[in-house]
Structure 1
Amino acid sequence: MPPKRKRTPKVKAKASPSPPPPPRPSAARSASSRPARAPLTTDTDRSKRQLRALAYIIIAAITSHTSVLSLSPVYGGTPSSLYHVQILSVLFVLAWFTQTLVLKSWKPPSYLLPIMAIYTPAVLRYSAQWSSKLGAVYGPIVTEAITLYPLFTLTILSAASVALENSTNVFLDSILGIAPLGFFFHHLQAVLPGYIGPLIGSTWFLTRCGLWHAIGALFTLANLLSPSRLPSRHLTSILISFLVPGLLYNSNQNTMCTLTPAINATLADYNHTLIARKESLTGYISVLDNTDINYRVLRCDHSLLGGEWQQPPKGYSWPADKDFREPVYAVFVIMEAVRLIDPPPKGDDNHNHKALAIGLGIGTSVDALIRHGIETDIVELDPVVYEYAQDYFFLSKNHTAYLEDATEFVARETEKRVARYDYVLHDVFTGGAVPAGLFTREFLMGLERMMADDGVIAINWAGDLNALESQMVVRTMQSVFKGCRSFREYAEKAEGQKEDEDFINMVTFCTTPRNPSTRLTFRAPRQEDLLNSLTRKQMLMPKHEVDLDTIFAKSTNQGEVTLLTKANTGLLKKWQRNGAVGHWGLIRTVVPGRVWEEY
């Protein structure tokens, strides 16, 4: 038998497992495989960015006003702002669209802004010495080109970059963003002076130098609102190392920031000495002595508010019993001629007359009225001017002072309907311009209602008789008062003026329409009127009368002249620009340019 085969046990084949389904891609992996998208922007994110951009815009507006304040002592308030707003408007638009449409994702180095702000006072200090060569028109532009414009441009670049970060439609958002922010910036430019002005000088951080340091601090805070834009620790250390020297220089050597012996060492070369200085709401106020011909003046920005001789001028001597100093400027003495009107108010020289002074200066005219026994009220906006008039020009104490805006004073007192002032002195000219509100028909009518029926007002006006602003102001005076007569300080116009220019100090005397007299006349001064003063002996009696009607009749601009009212004060401000530039040149012949530059 054949051998039996061994049966090989059948091994049941295991079913091979089916391949697992491909893993479903994770959310992270699928996201990386799709084209990158900008993260969704929530309303909260957008609001935060707008707030950060708004912070830069607010600081830009503060910087704009601080720059004008800083230039005013060297160039005067009006010349400093001639083209300021226009240039910044152009820079705003250019910087905004350059960042949003050209640079786009580039992040401006906003961390440089604090350093630029801190070093600005040093640059201003050294650039001031070129003011005489640059002039009142180009000087502010050139100075701001190396101080304000770079700082302002980087600020707007930073604002635009923050506002449009992660934008999905940069073009549309840049158009929609510039409109509200630009309007807000220009609104701040207009209103900030009214808020900052009354506070100037109240603390060091609210001085011209202190404001630049405050701006540096504000920029630092604005940068901290965007942590992603902060520099690295290493770069931060480098920035701080640059910041410290600027702070040390400003606090120890910069005469714009701190009073050092260096300022009088410089002024000594020009025969001047700084006696006192403060910053206040109307400007940089200082007392200066001329050590060559011995007179003292009160300075406000780039203007003089008055002066007195400390010693007799060369070739003169004073009476031994003289108990007060001689005035330097004759125009203030001419204003005292309100007492020479004949017949006097109430028909009696010995009557207990009362006077009101709108604007003080050093108090030359006001002090004379007080010395003549006239009860005098003073309305002066600037408390530092009032303080210095008492401390350094020895204003008599027996008076009543109202340290406030004259428009508010007159509005309040007019409501009382008490006509009580026999004499009014109106002298508010400074820096080549006047506060337009104090020459409006409404303001002058308020003064007229406060005057006695036969009261007299003396109004000091400084300007070019051929200019529209002079015609406008004089016509407004004549529309409110009666019998007006105008007298210039000197017979001839000042040297250095063009043939068609006649920039003068002029005092106009008027009375009320209620006065039965048709023409003002002056009596000759008596010995007691002169107060033992050589200047009053020569200048108290008005001499050089100006026939304004004849001058204005020759004007080719008569059709453009209108009365000044609250509604059109902007017109006077516009017309005064040329006058302010002309005044800047004239005042530089009175005090050397280097003295103006040292503040």
Structure 2
Amino acid sequence: MAPKKQVSKRKGPDVGQAPPETKEDFVNELKTLAGQANNDTWSRWAKQQVAVYGKASALVILTAVYANVSVLTLSPVYGQIAANRLHQYVVWTGLFVGWAGNLALRRVLPVKTITILPLIALHIPMFQFYLFALSSVFGVEYGPAITEALTLFPLVVVSASCIADILDEADLSGLPSSIASPAPGLVSYIVFRYSETSFFTQLVEQMGTSIMQTRMALELVLAATYSIMGRSQLLRYAVPSILHAAFYNTHLMTESATTSLNSTLNINGWSLVDRWESNTGYISVLDSYANGYRVMRCDHSLLGGEWTKFGRKIVAEPVYSVFTQLEAIRLVQVPGKVPDNEAHALNIGLGIGTTPSALISHGIDTTIVEIDPVVYKFASKYFGLPSNHTAVIQDVVSWSQLNAETLHEHFDYIVHDVFTGGAEPVSLFTDTFLKGLEHMLKPSGVIVINYAGDFTLPSLSIVVNTIRDIFPSCRIFRENEPPSEDSVRETGRDFDNVMIFCTKTEHDITFRKPLEADYLQSLSRRQFLVPQHEVPLSALSTIDEVGILRANETEKLAKWHDQSALRHWDVMRTVMPITELDVTFSKAAAKSRAANLPSVRSSGPTKLKSGLYSSATWLILPAANAYLAANTDPALLLSSSNTYEGLE
């Protein structure tokens, strides 16, 4: 029942007061009473308008924040670029439908529109939980949009409708009709876009600083806020979704959720060692205890891994050969080269720490710049990163700008390795940033830049051209042997890790023959330390064709991100078909899925029924399979060529 309207009590003449003696007194008293009435009316109007605009603004901001959290929740499954690619279209459509159809929605619903909002918000985490399990069915191109169409879209529609209903009570009679009519919608959208943009940066920066600032927890907090704004008895229908979040949703960053998730992953031969959310994404460490290796993931992508079954001598045996090949920076012959114990190295991007661990083991004074504190923590805790180094947990662009003068010509070696799964930071490949690195490099120094790219896209050529425009002498290598033309035509991609070794002086780059000490008692380094697959410049587009990447022209590279990210997602799903965020915690389904995984000791790579490859075979070439069967030399371990080319 609506509260009764309170009639303001105006002060009238006292009963015992004498009536006005003159006409003038009578007029003055009437004016006083009229003024009191006007003041009371204006006060009520002002309070009403403040309430209208305050409630509408709160709902606009709340919807904008939820839209941000929604896209952040998708990124661990689909990656940041794929999650963002169609996100705005879902939001814009929802805003339009909700704003234009608020009257129709009000007539159709048997309850107030705003009371529906908490129900939708509280059910979204449960819907996402099951929709993520279908990510391989939906695919990376439209999977994020399908997921948000079934979760975020209804929330935005109803939110926009509620905002329109609230602003119907706004008094714009003082404005011309040509302005008053579009003003509420236009201003609401401006506030929405501003809130969406500003809060996104804050959410990313604060992600993972507490359990309440993780993706799923934020969704639940926002749902609780919706519940406060739309209180009603309908909230009892949200009890199943609340119970699901508390006891069944393994996406929550709680110890009990991790334990529950592991009970399913163990059936597939995996164990989740640790996980947390951070400013670059969802970071997790997983063990394949059946096959004897450990990997670190950021969202859907792999940051690196090492074999655990062979133990650790000086350094671990890496599962990716590219990280051992980056260590060949020490083998580049340059005039005036200093011994390792006098050298200084800068490593940009940590991953699991394969390359910096080797540099430190060689006695090189190493500075590591890593933007993600969780990546650094996990590399130290679970991958044996040595402690005797300088760690900088900061954005390398701002760090390099602040230290440009003090670190002028300071480093003998610079390792630039920042790939994050199809979403490499564009700013770290501009001519401005690379000139900053050139400024820090000694005249006799060497830099190596790892760029995971697709030879069929212009982005790789743009990056290489930019590097060669800054550094006069370069040699380019790819991690694996180039695929055949038929293979490229069939798959539509030629994706590989590309290493560009450069110096500041104009002379031919050559590698000295490795000594026994260079291998650090590692058999995989003995096999892969020296890069073998050189890329001729003829395989890339020229500067005249694609240009270079300047700081004010980053869209030149960014526009190819979508395609590269989508292809990389397909590659990663070939690499690791089982991912912890896809698991719906159905043990029966997990057993069925595990039954389809080929043994690591099989005679050759085996396809799954889903068309994806075993999580074991991404690491193991036929030669490595033969090694595992015979328990022979781990030097046969892996280049990750099958990761990028596919296995038939």
Name the TM-score class by shorter chain: 0.7 to 0.9
Aligned equivalent of 1:242, options 234, 237, 244: 237
- Output the CA distance in 2 between the equivalents of 1:191 and 1:452: 40
Structure 2 SS opposite 1:347: coil
- Output the CA distance in 2 between the equivalents of 1:130 and 1:186: 31
Paired residue for 1:73?
76
Deviations 1:282-333 (A, max 9, x none): 1111100112321100011011100000014xxxxx8xx9343200001111
Deviations 1:256-302 (A, max 9, x none): 11424331222123221101111111111110011232110001101
Aligned equivalent of 2:321, options 330, 335, 351: 330
- Output the CA distance in 2 between the equivalents of 1:97 and 1:104: 13
Deviations 1:68-109 (A, max 9, x none): 111111111111111111221232123212226986998852
Question: How far is the alpha carbon of 1:385 from its aligned partner?
Answer: 0.4
Paired residue for 2:455?
465
Matched, 1:146 2:137: no
Kept in 2, the 8 Å contact 1:270–1:595? The answer is no
Paired residue for 2:555?
570
Matched, 1:213 2:203: no
Question: How far is the alpha carbon of 1:378 from its aligned partner?
Answer: 0.5
The correspondence of residues 117-516 of structure 1 with structure 2, limited to 5 A, is 117-165=121-169, 173-223=180-230, 231=232, 236=233, 239-257=234-252, 258=254, 259-312=257-310, 322-343=313-334, 346-350=336-340, 352-416=342-406, 418-493=408-483, 498-499=489-490, 500-512=492-504, 515=505
TM-score, structure 2 length as denominator? 0.78
Question: How far is the alpha carbon of 1:576 from its aligned partner?
Answer: 0.8
Kept in 1, the 8 Å contact 2:132–2:581? The answer is no
- Output the CA distance in 2 between the equivalents of 1:153 and 1:584: 30
Question: How far is the alpha carbon of 1:358 from its aligned partner?
Answer: 0.7
Deviates more, 1:562-571 or 1:194-203: 562-571
- Output the CA distance in 2 between the equivalents of 1:108 and 1:240: 13
Question: How far is the alpha carbon of 1:550 from its aligned partner?
Answer: 4.0
Question: How far is the alpha carbon of 1:242 from its aligned partner?
Answer: 2.5
Kept in 2, the 8 Å contact 1:55–1:222? The answer is no
Paired residue for 2:90?
87
Question: How far is the alpha carbon of 1:195 from its aligned partner?
Answer: 0.8
Kept in 2, the 8 Å contact 1:78–1:580? The answer is yes
- Structure 1 pair 101/171, CA: closer, same or farther in 2 (3 Å)? farther
- Output the CA distance in 1 between the equivalents of 2:64 and 2:544: 38
- Structure 1 pair 450/456, CA: closer, same or farther in 2 (3 Å)? same
Structure 1 SS opposite 2:302: strand
Matched, 1:581 2:573: no
Deviates more, 1:140-149 or 1:489-498: 489-498
Kept in 2, the 8 Å contact 1:68–1:80? The answer is yes
Question: How far is the alpha carbon of 1:246 from its aligned partner?
Answer: 2.4
Question: How far is the alpha carbon of 1:547 from its aligned partner?
Answer: 1.3
- Output the CA distance in 1 between the equivalents of 2:182 and 2:112: 20
Write the letter of the residue equivalent to 2:198.
Answer: V
Kept in 2, the 8 Å contact 1:114–1:215? The answer is no
Paired residue for 1:20?
none
Deviations 1:323-355 (A, max 9, x none): 4320000111111111000136x3343560000
Structure 2 unaligned residues grouped into runs of 5+ = 1-41, 585-648
Deviations 1:218-267 (A, max 9, x none): 223444xxxxxx54xxxx2xx34223332232122210114243312221
Write the letter of the residue equivalent to 2:413.
Answer: Y
Question: How far is the alpha carbon of 1:569 from its aligned partner?
Answer: 2.1
Percent sequence identity over aligned pairs: 37
- Structure 1 pair 571/55, CA: closer, same or farther in 2 (3 Å)? farther
Question: How far is the alpha carbon of 1:474 from its aligned partner?
Answer: 1.4
Write the letter of the residue equivalent to 2:330.
Answer: R
- Structure 1 pair 337/54, CA: closer, same or farther in 2 (3 Å)? same
Kept in 2, the 8 Å contact 1:65–1:193? The answer is yes
- Report how many residues are paired: 534
Kept in 2, the 8 Å contact 1:483–1:510? The answer is yes
- Output the CA distance in 1 between the equivalents of 2:130 and 2:159: 24
Aligned equivalent of 2:531, options 542, 559, 578: 542
Question: How far is the alpha carbon of 1:45 from its aligned partner?
Answer: 3.2
- Structure 1 pair 427/159, CA: closer, same or farther in 2 (3 Å)? same
- Output the CA distance in 1 between the equivalents of 2:48 and 2:299: 46
Write the letter of the residue equivalent to 1:219.
Answer: Y
Matched, 1:591 2:585: no
Deviations 1:406-435 (A, max 9, x none): 111100110336320000011110121201
Write the letter of the residue equivalent to 2:207.
Answer: I
Question: How far is the alpha carbon of 1:559 from its aligned partner?
Answer: 6.5
TM-score, structure 1 length as denominator? 0.84
Alpha-carbon RMSD = 2.6
- Output the CA distance in 2 between the equivalents of 1:520 and 1:147: 55
- Structure 1 pair 285/412, CA: closer, same or farther in 2 (3 Å)? same
Structure 1 SS opposite 2:296: strand
Structure 2 SS opposite 1:137: coil
Question: How far is the alpha carbon of 1:444 from its aligned partner?
Answer: 0.9
Kept in 1, the 8 Å contact 2:334–2:444? The answer is no
- Output the CA distance in 1 between the equivalents of 2:297 and 2:207: 17
Write the letter of the residue equivalent to 1:471.
Answer: S
Write the letter of the residue equivalent to 1:584.
Answer: W
Write the letter of the residue equivalent to 2:85.
Answer: L
Who wins on radius of gyration, i.e. which is larger?
Answer: 1
Paired residue for 1:315?
none
